[in-house]
Amino acid sequence: MFTDSNPYFSVSHAFTAYLSPWPQNHPLPTDIALRSMQSVGIQLLSDVKELEASCLLQLRHLDHDAKAIVDFLKLQSRKVDLVLQHVLEQETQEGDKFSGCQFGGSGIRLRSPSPLPLGSHFKTTLFIHDELIAILCFVKVMANHLDTTALSGAAQYYVDLEFSQILEGDVEQLVKASLNVQQKQLKLRKLAKDGAQ
C-alpha cells in the first residue's frame, strides 16, 4: 500500500476499524457474498452514496442557475448521510477496535499494541467519520512497523493492510474521500502559511 507500485495514493487521516480474523482455510467471499455480509446500515449508506453521486453528476451538466439546486441537494444528502452514520455507530460492531491513521484505494494503515500475523486476512469494517464512509471489506496484513516515536512506554506498531476483497464502489468512495481529505489538508496548510506571514 505504501510503495510506488500501488495504483492509488494514500492520505494520513484518523478513522476507526474493526477487525475479525478470517480463517486461513476459508476462501475470501465473492462480491455477492460480501454484499450479503453487509449490515443494513452499511447497505443503506452505500446505496444512498451511489444514488447521490449519480444524481449530482447529471446535475453538473445543467447551467449556472442550477448551482443553488445542486448546493441544496448536497446539503440534504449530507443530512441523510449523517443520520445513517449515527445509526451505524449505534450498531454493535464485530471484532477488535483499532485506530486507523492512513487510507487510500489500495489499503489502510492502523495503530496496534502488537504486530498482526503477516499474510493473515481480516474481515474489516471501516468508519471514516469526517467523510461519512462505512465499508465492509477484507484486508491482508502486509507489514508491521514498530513506532519509534511513541511517547508512552508501551510498544506501538503501524500495521499496513492491503485490500484483499472490496467492492468496486467502495474503492471509488475511498479514492474520492482520500482526494477530498488531501484537498482539505492543502487548504489548511495554505491558511496556516498565510497566517504566519
List, for residues 162-196, the tens digit of each pLDDT value.
Answer: 999 999 999 999 999 999 999 988 888 888 877 77
What is Dmax (Cα atoms) for the chain? Answer: 59
pLDDT score for 150: 66
pLDDT score for 19: 97
Domains and CATH numbers, the chain: 11-39+91-196 (2.40.10.220)
Looking only at the bridges linking them, the beta strands covering 133-146 and 96-104 are unpaired
Cα(14)–Cα(55) distance, integer angstroms: 29
pLDDT score for 48: 76
What per-residue string of b and e applies to 64-82 under the rule 16 or more CB within 10 Å gives b? Answer: eeeeeeeeeeeeebeebbe
pLDDT score for 155: 81
pLDDT score for 55: 73
pLDDT score for 4: 46
- Residues (pLDDT < 50) of the chain are 1, 3-4
- pTM, to two decimals: 0.81
pLDDT score for 14: 95
pLDDT score for 192: 80
